[in-house]
Structure 1
Amino acid sequence: MRWDEVGFPGTACGPVDPVISYRMRPLGIPGLSESSFVDSGTASACNPLPEYVRTHGPAPGRRPEYPPGRVPACHPILLGCGGPPMPEPAPRRQHRRYPIQLPFLHQAKTPAPSKAGVGWTHNLSEGGACVELAESLRPQMPLWVRLQTEEGPIDMEAQVTWAGECADPKSGILHGVTFTQITPDHLSALRNLLLSKGLIRPPKVRLPFDVPVTCRPKGRDGPPIQGRTRDASRGGLLLRLSEVVPPETIMEVTVHTSPGPLKVEGAVAWVAPPESRAPGGPIRHGLRFTRPTWSTSLAFGSLLVESL
């Protein structure tokens, strides 16, 4: 392929004589060598040119001559690929992250005893997690942490890598943590969790939680419905009630815990079919929280996680 008789307008480094022809041949480009592309494309590359070439361009009928290893940014061959350099690609994560939400207990590694805090994971990987906490932690702070799973707690040491800002007082503060030390058995438990729950969309991690509850359909009078919880997650509860409540019913639920009653509001997502019910036994209902608050999430996190 040949490019013949191509004229180029003047540039910041001086006009280029339109009489010059630049031909692209298999053996090279007149006026350019392979070494000519070294250190090209910068403003400083224009400085070493002779004054006449910088001001008026090469003389008619002559090929431009540049010092060895220098090609000006205004060279016609380079005009088509000008502009800022491409940014370096962002480094890829070493471990894949999964949107798994678990209660997250943390305690600063200090010589003196410190108070443990609670939060929830936003996503989780083999090497770290993004967590939502009630208070801001400084970067580089070493921690003891615990992830509460349905198979039991996973303990490890970690370090805070970054801390976000609390833009909304009704939500927690996002942090990034890197896991720095974990025993082989707990690492195996973490890997099993990621394999079993990470590929489910959305991930369904429910933790055992058995306490009494009283429920009442919102806006209705009458005695409350008695029952118990079976398990819980950040998004809802599994209830065992004494009577059937139709799906989509908005319920006001009081969870009776040892620290005190906890009131939540939710919608019945599903009801166990008749063929799966035991005669005279409780009826399973799935409750989805409709108005979750950060304080409610913290309260459930504290109830679900085992103390360090």
Structure 2
Amino acid sequence: MRQRFLRYTLQVPVLYKRLDQEEPAQTGTGWTEDLGEGGACLKLPTPLLMGCRLGLVLFAEPEVVEAEARVVWVRPGGQRTFYYHGVEFVQLSPPYYMSLLKTLAQGKSGEHRAFQRFPLVLPISCRPVGSDVPALEGKIGNISRGGALVLLPKQLLPRTKVEIALDVPYTERIRARVRWASDSSDDSGLFGHGVEFVQGPLENHRFLSLFTDDAGDKG
């Protein structure tokens, strides 16, 4: 079936609640895969029934959007570790509709990130992959499912592959690639670097999944 509205690749956290169930109704979290004026594609950890009604809270930028929606299709993905859901908006109040338009305007202009960033200040050590030089001591500034802002005392070249160790017990090292580096340091002498995780989004990283997890179903 052809969509009446254009969809934009916008991945933002979403909270849902089943509106067709008696309390306590099923609730859960997930992410949008795309978003438009008429609906969205949601990535959720468990399949929902086609036709069920949902109350949605989209934690979009620059404003949160609340809407009622109906599931119109469901299909499995990733060896059935998650499920895609096509939903159409059936009720969207004028203020939230305007908030949705602001979010879509960012998607049209390319200003919106593919992955939403969350603030996280955490000490790290960072070393180019395969290098014997001492690790650089720095910190993370913010993080998303796809990458992070890393602050280091030395400027690294774009496309440098790095290994990042977090100052947190029982956490794995992270492989990443430098996408960009700032030309000058900040007041603390650190250079900003945008890095992209090369092993994929961090759904399975035990610590960072607290900040970047796709969904933790509560139902």
> Aligned partners of 1:243, 1:148: CA distance in 2, in Å?
35
Structure 1 runs (4+) greater than 6 angstroms displaced? none
Paired with 2:57 and 2:166, the residues of 1 have a C-alpha distance of 25
Q: Match for residue 46 of structure 2?
A: 135
CA distance in 2, matches of 1:285, 1:219: 19
Map 1:233-252 → 2, pairs under 5 A? 233-252=144-163
**Higher Cα Rg: structure 1 or 2?**
1
Once the two structures are superposed, the pairs formed by residues 159-238 of structure 1 within 5 Å of their partners are 159-166=70-77, 168-169=79-80, 172-200=82-110, 204=114, 206-217=116-127, 218-220=129-131, 222-223=134-135, 225-230=137-142, 232-238=143-149
Identity within the alignment, %: 26
Instruction: Tell me which residue corresponds to 1:53.
Output: none
What is the distance in 2 between the residues matched to 1:263 and 1:127?
41
TM (normalized to structure 2)? 0.78
The 8 Å contact of residues 104 and 301 in structure 1, kept in 2 or not, is answered as no
Q: Distance in 2 between matches of 1:106 and 1:121?
A: 11
**Separation in structure 2 between the aligned mates of residue 178 and residue 240 of structure 1, nearest angstrom:** 41
Query: Do 1:160 and 1:175's aligned partners in 2 also have CA atoms closer than 8 Å?
Result: yes
Structure 1 residue 224, shift from structure 2 partner: 5.2
Matched, 1:271 2:193: no
* Alignment deviations for residues 121-160 of structure 1 (CA, whole Å, 9 cap, x no partner): 2211011011221111111111121222232422222111
Residue 37 of structure 2 is matched in structure 1 by: 126
2:37–2:100 CA contact under 8 A, matched in 1: yes
- Comparing 282-291 with 239-248, which one deviates more in the overlay? 239-248
The structure that is helix-richer by fraction is: 1
Matched, 1:97 2:7: yes
Q: Is 2:25 the partner of 1:117?
A: no
RMSD in angstroms over aligned alpha carbons? 3.1
Q: Secondary structure at the match of 2:72?
A: strand
In structure 2, the CA distance between the partners of 1:134 and 1:303, relative to structure 1 (3 Å rule), is: closer
Deviation at 1:115, TM superposition (A): 5.2
Aligned partner of 1:35 in structure 2 is none
- Do the aligned partners of 2:55 and 2:68 also contact (CA within 8 Å) in 1? yes
Conserved? CA contact 2:30–2:214, under 8 Å = no
Q: Residues 138 and 195 from structure 1, CA distance in 2 versus in 1: closer, same or farther, beyond 3 angstroms?
A: same
Residue equivalent to 1:287:
195
Aligned partner letter, 1:225: E
Higher strand share: 2
1:157 touches 1:181 (CA, 8 Å); kept in 2?
yes
SS, match of residue 76 in structure 2: coil
Deviation for aligned residue 1:116? 3.3
Q: What TM-score, normalized by structure 1, do the two folds share?
A: 0.58
Q: Are residues 118 and 241 of structure 1, via their aligned partners in 2, closer, same or farther at CA, if it must alter by over 3 Å? A: farther
Taking the aligned partners of 1:213 and 1:137, their CA distance within structure 2 comes to 40
Match of 1:157 among 63, 68, 73: 68
Counterpart code for 1:129? A
- Counterpart of 2:141, as a letter, is T
